[in-house]
Structure 1
Amino acid sequence: MSSQPRTLETRSLPVSKPGNPWKEICAASIGNALEFYDLLIYGYFAIVIGKLFFPAADETTSLLLSVGTFGISFVMRPLGAIVLGSYADRAGRKASLTVSIFVMMIGTAMIAFAPTYAQIGIASPLIVIVARMLQGFSTGGEFGAATAFMVEHADAKRRGFFASWQLSTQGLATVLAAGVSALLSFTLTENQLDDWGWRLAFGVGLLIGPVGLYIRSQIDETPEFKKIAAAKPEQSPLKVVLVRDRINLLLGIGVVSGATAFNYVHKLYMPTYALKQLHIPATSSFLSAMVTGLVLMISAPLFGALSDRYGRFRVLSMAMLTIACTSYPLFLLLTTWPTVGTLMLVQGLVGILIAACLGPIPAMLSDIFPTSTRGTGLALSYNFSVTLFGGFAPLIVTWMIAFTESKLAPSFYVMATALISIAAVLALGRRMARRGPA
């Protein structure tokens, strides 16, 4: 195993050493945080949105429709990955990043100002669905372009560290989204929150969106892309990835599966789970999500740096094995002692585990695709996996709880996907060891 990380990390390295990348990393990180804020805030207000836009005879059906709509946006992520990922490989990382944040702002505005079902009937949920599809399309292109942008501005020996800021800024987005949600749920009455308070949460993302758009318009293209652009960019990056790199693509999807399932179940779905299953107040539920985001924000770069030193495979395989062994005990702890203190403790541990498994992944996926198709390969492998295993995770575990009548059901889903991820990590490691340096 010790030779695998070295083999993987020597593929497609830049010929010249980039300068100080912090300006570009910060610019990409800020825009990335804003995009994931808009994505998360919908999940945190799933119960309110379900009542207002998807009314049903019982609360469970309404919630299922709401989280199902959350999942619908993920159907668009592969399309966004194809279009914006390919665009990043043809027109540049900067161009793709600018388009993605603009599309996200449109989707957020549609939700923020959408009339409710009581006001315009069936057109109301249709507006929300279209808006979520636009947000999913945008996010589908974000990961590939942002990660490629960070990696290609970094020194080859520190790619794990700099690429992990992709996940660190997702932690920042979690802190911001959960913080806004906690503040609104604490200061407003339930009627005020249902009537207009939830719109303020989307308004925050809408107000700061132009800032991210401006910042991204001021950044420089990556040195690696400039080199291939000076020669001739790949005209059909999607075809190349699907034909030449299809095995790496499939294994990349498997690598991400367990990490994204754990992320979406324990981070995004947890406030809803705590409120509906553990009967913990909404403010405390959102504060627990803030704890997860804060720990992730701090820890992700640490695990990215560890992957630079000890290898992506070693760090990631140990993290996924830990997740497979601890998900059930964590849910058991929550259901046995359903208190705010227990929730905070569990979510703090969850933040560390998310950082440990997701921190090394951006650089790992970057390493297995060359510069000419990196945007497409990154976007496809990550977003297909997130769509299959993460996007519908809230819907799946909500159904599993109702079907099994067990509050521990979400852990079964996490454990199953963790095993898939472990198998893919091992297979990819052996594949890269056999191939040797490119």
Structure 2
Amino acid sequence: MTYTAATTSTSDDSVSTSGTQPQRASHAKAIAAITLGNGLEFFDFTIYSFFATIIGKLYFPVEGQLAQLMLAVGTFGVGFIMRPVGGVVLGAYADRAGRKAAMSLTLWLMTLGSAIIAFAPTYASIGLAAPVLVILARLIQGFALGGEIGASTSLLMEYGSDRTRGFYGSWQFVSQGLNTVVGSLLGVALAAMLSTHALESWGWRVPFVIGMAMGPIGVYIRRHLDETLPLPAASDHSPALEAATVAKPVREIFGTHMGSIVTGVVTTIGGTAANYIVLFYLSTYAIKILHMPMSLALWASWTAALVTVICSPFAGSLSDRYGRKRVLWVSRVLLIAGVYPAFMVINAVPTVPVLLSVVAVLGVLVAFTAVPNIVMLPEMFPREIRATGMSIVYCLGVSIFGGFAQFFATWLIQLSGNTLAPAWYLIGCGLVSLLALPFVRETAGRAID
């Protein structure tokens, strides 16, 4: 089979010793393009969590505010059900057609999902069809993000060298934090400027309209990226070859890489639970449990996200220097030890300064435990199946323990009557995730192709 690949650079700072690298004038521009496009997708997906209380009221009119919240955050989790499916389908597409093609497709799918939510009539207007539309939109978005995470992280990693992959891969988490910063600022601004009636009638739809409009911009930003996957020559595109190429990544992963899948999924559980509890759920927790105004509580998400954006590149560089496993182990143990006291403090002194201080500390630990984790996953697989493998492992770990983290946390509060219950969830996930770490191969500073 004949392959065409981009020209390889000869700079020691830009060339990986582990495979073919594309020619690129500016790595900073490449990181920006991938990060901005990825952030736009996560903006569409996570803005839902900021307005979960309003969406619950408008689309799930059941008795009790806590029940409404459970249905709303449960629907947030529904989107994660499709992530493994999207990971398999779009990941295989990224390993066949290239990273760029897959990332453009995921952006268009996210745009469609945002458009459905932005213009979906409420339960009062069309009855049961209203929550069905919201669920459909969440499924589409989940499918899209399932493929996006593998393609974009693989592309970032393949732009780095054996000595810098942690730093490059950390920008995947930076992009997620950036979307949370922008989304929470937008939520705070809307909550501050609009009356409660205006916010509930139309104001909450504004971020989804913005997300829908930003999709084409993301596609444009990414179109000048260099492809890092050697692609088949035009003469090799026969139907039989196409079918075999599509099936190969999935067949090979489940045939010869099951050990990597299991250890990767278990390790991911702790990082994703921490991410979704600290970055997304604590704002909702502050509104419903601590009874803070929405305009103030959303600053918790903003603070946590800003801290992760700042700390993530340092966490990636630290993992390049000292190893992924060592940085992940230390930070995750500290997070497990600190999360219960953190919840005790914000319940004992439920003020905004205390909440933001606690969230900032937790945000630092989340960055240093999540970044080496997410960097480590694509390094487990060879280049030709990397996007598929990364997507499957990450999405399986995130789908249940991250996507439904807010639901489980709220359910535990309702079941136990204890407002500290979300800490139990995070501690349990963290402890389980550490069990697989001894079986994970250290990849920092080593050739992966």
TM-score in terms of structure 2 length: 0.90
1:85 corresponds to which residue? 91
Distance 1:406 1:328 in 2: 12
Quick check: 1:108–1:131 contact (8 Å CA) kept in 2? yes
- Cα offsets for 1:259-307 (capped at 9, x unmatched): 1001111111111100010111111111121111111111101100000
Identical-pair percentage: 40
Q: Which runs of 5+ in 2 are unaligned?
A: 1-15
1:345 aligns to 2:345 (yes or no): no
Aligned residue for 2:440, secondary structure, equals: helix
Distance 2:159 2:336 in 1: 34
**1:375 deviation in Å?**
0.3
1:98 aligns to 2:104 (yes or no): yes
Quick check: 2:98–2:231 contact (8 Å CA) kept in 1? no
1:255 corresponds to which residue? 267
Quick check: 1:260–1:389 contact (8 Å CA) kept in 2? yes
Aligned residue for 1:57, secondary structure, equals: coil
2:173 corresponds to which residue? 167
TM-score in terms of structure 1 length: 0.93
2:10 corresponds to which residue? none
2:191 corresponds to which residue? 185
Distance 2:326 2:441 in 1: 10
Amino acid at match of 2:55: I
**1:339 deviation in Å?**
0.5
Distance 1:257 1:77 in 2: 15
**1:219 deviation in Å?**
1.9
Match of 2:391 among 363, 373, 379: 379
Aligned residue for 1:162, secondary structure, equals: helix
Quick check: 2:35–2:175 contact (8 Å CA) kept in 1? yes
Q: Cα 1:227–1:128, aligned 2, differ >3 Å: closer, same or farther?
A: closer
Amino acid at match of 1:209: G
Q: Which runs of 5+ in 1 are unaligned?
A: 1-10
- Cα offsets for 1:42-76 (capped at 9, x unmatched): 01101100111111122121111111111111101
**1:23 deviation in Å?**
2.1
Amino acid at match of 1:332: M
Q: Cα 1:325–1:122, aligned 2, differ >3 Å: closer, same or farther?
A: same
Q: Which moved more, 1:344-353 or 1:17-26?
A: 17-26
Distance 2:55 2:400 in 1: 23
Distance 2:356 2:181 in 1: 14
Distance 1:129 1:287 in 2: 27
**1:421 deviation in Å?**
1.5
Aligned residue for 1:359, secondary structure, equals: helix
- 1:24-173 correspondence to structure 2 within 5 Å: 24-173=30-179
Distance 2:23 2:376 in 1: 19
**1:428 deviation in Å?**
1.3
Distance 2:224 2:187 in 1: 31
Match of 1:312 among 313, 318, 324: 324
Amino acid at match of 1:395: F
2:6 corresponds to which residue? none
* Moved >6 Å (runs of 4+): 227-232, 435-438
1:301 aligns to 2:313 (yes or no): yes
Which fold has the larger relative contact order, with Cα–Cα distance below 8 Å and residues 6 or more apart in sequence? 1
- Cα offsets for 1:327-353 (capped at 9, x unmatched): 101101111111001111011112211
**1:162 deviation in Å?**
0.5
Q: Cα 1:16–1:96, aligned 2, differ >3 Å: closer, same or farther?
A: closer
- 1:265-414 correspondence to structure 2 within 5 Å: 265-414=277-426
Match of 2:230 among 226, 229, 232: 226
Amino acid at match of 1:226: P
Aligned residue for 1:220, secondary structure, equals: coil
Q: Cα 1:333–1:96, aligned 2, differ >3 Å: closer, same or farther?
A: same
Distance 1:113 1:352 in 2: 37
- Cα offsets for 1:117-141 (capped at 9, x unmatched): 1011111111111001001001111
Aligned residue for 1:283, secondary structure, equals: helix
Distance 2:84 2:307 in 1: 29
Quick check: 1:80–1:140 contact (8 Å CA) kept in 2? yes
- Cα offsets for 1:87-135 (capped at 9, x unmatched): 1111110111000010000000000000001011111111111001001
2:207 corresponds to which residue? 201
Distance 2:232 2:327 in 1: 32
**1:214 deviation in Å?**
1.2
**1:385 deviation in Å?**
0.2
Distance 2:208 2:283 in 1: 17
Distance 1:268 1:325 in 2: 20
Amino acid at match of 2:230: K
Aligned residue for 1:251, secondary structure, equals: helix
**1:15 deviation in Å?**
5.2
The Cα RMSD (Å) is: 2.1
Distance 1:16 1:38 in 2: 31
Q: Cα 1:436–1:126, aligned 2, differ >3 Å: closer, same or farther?
A: closer
Quick check: 1:182–1:283 contact (8 Å CA) kept in 2? yes
Distance 1:217 1:395 in 2: 37
Amino acid at match of 1:373: I
Quick check: 2:23–2:226 contact (8 Å CA) kept in 1? no
**1:227 deviation in Å?**
6.7
Q: Cα 1:138–1:15, aligned 2, differ >3 Å: closer, same or farther?
A: closer
2:436 corresponds to which residue? 424
| Larger helix share, 1 or 2 | 1
Quick check: 2:17–2:161 contact (8 Å CA) kept in 1? no
Quick check: 2:382–2:448 contact (8 Å CA) kept in 1? no
**1:229 deviation in Å?**
7.3
Quick check: 2:379–2:448 contact (8 Å CA) kept in 1? no
Distance 1:12 1:156 in 2: 6
**1:14 deviation in Å?**
1.9
**1:13 deviation in Å?**
2.1
